[in-house]
Chains A and B, each alone.
Chain A
Amino acid sequence: MAESKNFSNGSIMAFIFFFAAFLASGSSTAQVPFLMWSTKSLPSLTSPPAGHITSMEELAAYLTPVFGSGSNTVLLFLQDKLSKDDFTLFGGVFGNKEESAFRNLEAALQSSSSSVSFPALEWTGESAIPTLLQQKLGASPLLVDPDTLSHLSLNTSTSNLLIINLPYCSDSLKSCKEVLSNNDEIIGKVLSSLKAKDVSYTAAYTGLQPSQAILKSSLLNQQVGRTLLQAPAADVKAPIIFSNTTGFPCIMLWAQNLSISPPGSTDFIDLAQENATVIGSMCNSTNSELVLTYVNYILRFAMSQRFYPVSARNWFTLDSVQVQVHSSGQTASFVGSHGIYAPAEYSFHCQSVSSVRDTLLVPANQNATQWKLNFVDFQIQGFSLANGTNFSYASDCASFFTAGIWMGLVTSLLMLLIFVYGLHMIMQLNTMDRFDDPKGPTISVPQSD
């Protein structure tokens, strides 16, 4: 207890500062990878811990024994931009070796006598590495074109520093792989021509600047994070909303299909595809009526809500659905109060509200028996809409257990109960062995009465 009181504010601040600085140092220092391979043996390098950024001084200290004695031919492949992410993105590291853009480079690294790599070399300027190599070798750099190298005659008695500039890709991501593959081919050609000359060389591959491979690719909408493979859902159309006089939504209706079939015709007309006006609708605290006026038809949904004492809550019912033909004025009326109900705070949803199948809408007048209604994926709410335009919780017409499931459950559970009871009775039958006496005389059964 006493120790914790010694944790002053100052030490906590210092800790936070160091932590932030540690984090910052990792992210803000520019770095380029530096790969080196040679026909002679290079001194071995203990692999640096992950995230360690090699400073130029460390590289200089490493290169001193390499180029200290004799004459060396150094071939520097300077790509405009290079970073570790290029290898990750284009190096075929995810098991797709055949798509790698660095095949010749990898082959050269593996077939060389020794190779060494600095995954993160501190980048202090474009000319840092050529200058350092120039310093170590004591030779001035010679810019070489890959094609002219075969014609170049190298003086192996002095140190040579040959620099080959390789391009980096422009903004389009697609050609990046091609550019890097081309660079790789150039490297391969150059190395093979050097091998043909039978010259002992040291080659290095690095970049003039760090590239922004990952940033570039994310700018091109290539999703790096996890994405769903499912096709994106199509946009959902808005529900039909009727607002009351104060401007708040009062009745909401959404349906995928509002299909009606007038008498005499067999196919359905989907009214949900047409535009409707909601003029003539009304809503107050106990009754709501939504009147949808289409070109040829008028649909009326009449709902009411009241308090039911047995369940002690308010329920609303869709009392009737009326279809009226504009031209002739004839009306078909369907009653829906038996099946279409929900607590007044919630909306009602049903996959199929129809008068033909699983009839939730029952014809109420003579006309209606010849009409057919079929509303698909139907959701309606006439009361208790808050200010937003979202439906409340949807009380679905489909319950968890259907009536058939309940009937099956009741019967099977009853039979199971009977079976278990019978099994229990049989299992507790015992043979009477109270009077068994293995050593006593056996009983004698008289033969006569």
Chain B
Amino acid sequence: MLLEWMMNGHAILYTGVTLAFWSTILIVGICYTIFDLGFRFDVAWFLTETSPFMWANLGIGLAISLSVVGAAWGIYITGSSIIGGGVKAPRIKTKNLVSIIFCEAVAIYGIIMAIVISNMAENFTGTTPETIGARNYQAGYSMFGAGLTVGFSNLFCGICVGIVGSGAALADAQNASLFVKILIVEIFGSAIGLFGVIVAILQTSKVKMGD
């Protein structure tokens, strides 16, 4: 059975890529150790030499994109259930759009945070770590962290709301009184997206980029 699973093209591809990646890391690490060049592996150099702008923009990008992925996934799950259930019970169509709106809200959180974070990116003069200054580094890293926070929270919130909404639609198709109860579960699910937004705002509250 393992052989049948291995015959799957995806599994072979992923196994190969993982093997290549880990063996590259292993061999590079061994070479660095053998030649006593371990001092060249310098995480601090990486963190101080890479521009804070890279981190800031990665944060902004991840904020919007991960939120949109969550929203899209949720809408895909709910939407397909509504459409499917609506074939036999057309009355569910209008009421269940509320689930779709909960999913969409997650994407709106994401874009709002992306705009808020991107407004904090300012120009600074300075090319060496001393001249850039600690505050600019803090700004870059905070923006990256905030973007990650809001992105991943919204991602899982969107999926959660989507699956619950799908269940709500199908239950509603069976029995109209069930919908309101399940809506409460959905509201709890969408609260977690809001948590992510609040924490991200807290993270970027002290950000001040520039000279």
Contact = CB atoms under 8 A, between A and B. Distances in A.
Interface of A: 311, 313, 338-339, 343, 359, 362, 395, 399-400, 403, 406-407, 410-411, 414, 418, 424, 427-428, 443, 445-446, 449
A426 to B, nearest CB: 11
Nearest to B57: A411
Contact of B130 (A338, A410, A446): A338
A313 B39 CA distance: 9
B49 to A, nearest CB: 4
Given A403-B49, A407-B50, A445 B58 contact: no
Contact of B51 (A407, A424, A445, A446): A407
A362 B128 contact: yes
A403 B50 contact: yes
A399 B45 CA distance: 11
Contacts of B115: none
Given A338-B129, A403-B49, A411-B58, A427 B87 contact: no
B10 A428 contact: yes
Given A338-B128, A407-B50, A449-B90, A414 B39 contact: no
Interface string B63-92: 001000000000000000000000100110
Contacts of A359: 127-128
Contacts, number: 40
8 contacts: A338-B129, A359-B128, A362-B130, A395-B39, A400-B40, A403-B51, A407-B51, A427-B10
B69 to A, nearest CB: 8
Which 9 A-B residue pairings sit nearest by Cβ, starting from the closest?
A: A403-B49, A407-B54, A407-B50, A449-B90, A343-B39, A403-B50, A406-B46, A406-B50, A445-B87
Nearest to A393: B36
A406 B43 CA distance: 12
Nearest to A335: B130
A53 B10 CA distance: 72
Contacts of A411: 54, 58
Given A403-B49, A449-B90, A311 B39 contact: yes
Given A359-B127, A443-B87, A449-B90, 16 more contacts: A338-B129, A338-B130, A343-B39, A359-B128, A362-B130, A395-B39, A399-B40, A399-B45, A407-B51, A410-B54, A411-B54, A418-B65, A424-B10, A428-B10, A445-B87, A446-B90
Nearest to B53: A407
Per DSSP, chain A at the interface is: mixed
Interface string B159-182: 000000000000000000000000
Contacts of B90: 446, 449
Nearest to B90: A449
B79 to A, nearest CB: 14
A395 B49 CA distance: 18
Given A311-B39, A362-B128, A449 B50 contact: no
A313 B38 CA distance: 11
A395 B36 CA distance: 11
Contacts of A446: 90
A44 to B, nearest CB: 66
Contacts of B91: 449
A9 B13 CA distance: 62
B148 to A, nearest CB: 11
Nearest to B93: A449
Contacts of A406: 46, 49-50
B28 to A, nearest CB: 10
Nearest to B87: A445
Nearest to A345: B36
A206 B128 CA distance: 82
A51 to B, nearest CB: 49
Contacts of A338: 128-130
Contacts of B39: 311, 313, 343, 395
Given A362-B128, A406-B50, A414 B10 contact: no
Contacts of B50: 403, 406-407, 410
A428 B65 CA distance: 22
A400 B58 CA distance: 24
A318 B45 CA distance: 18
A399 B32 CA distance: 13
Contact of A414 (B49, B58, B87, B127): B58
A338 to B, nearest CB: 6
Contacts of A418: 65
A411 B128 CA distance: 22
Nearest to A396: B40
A422 B186 CA distance: 26
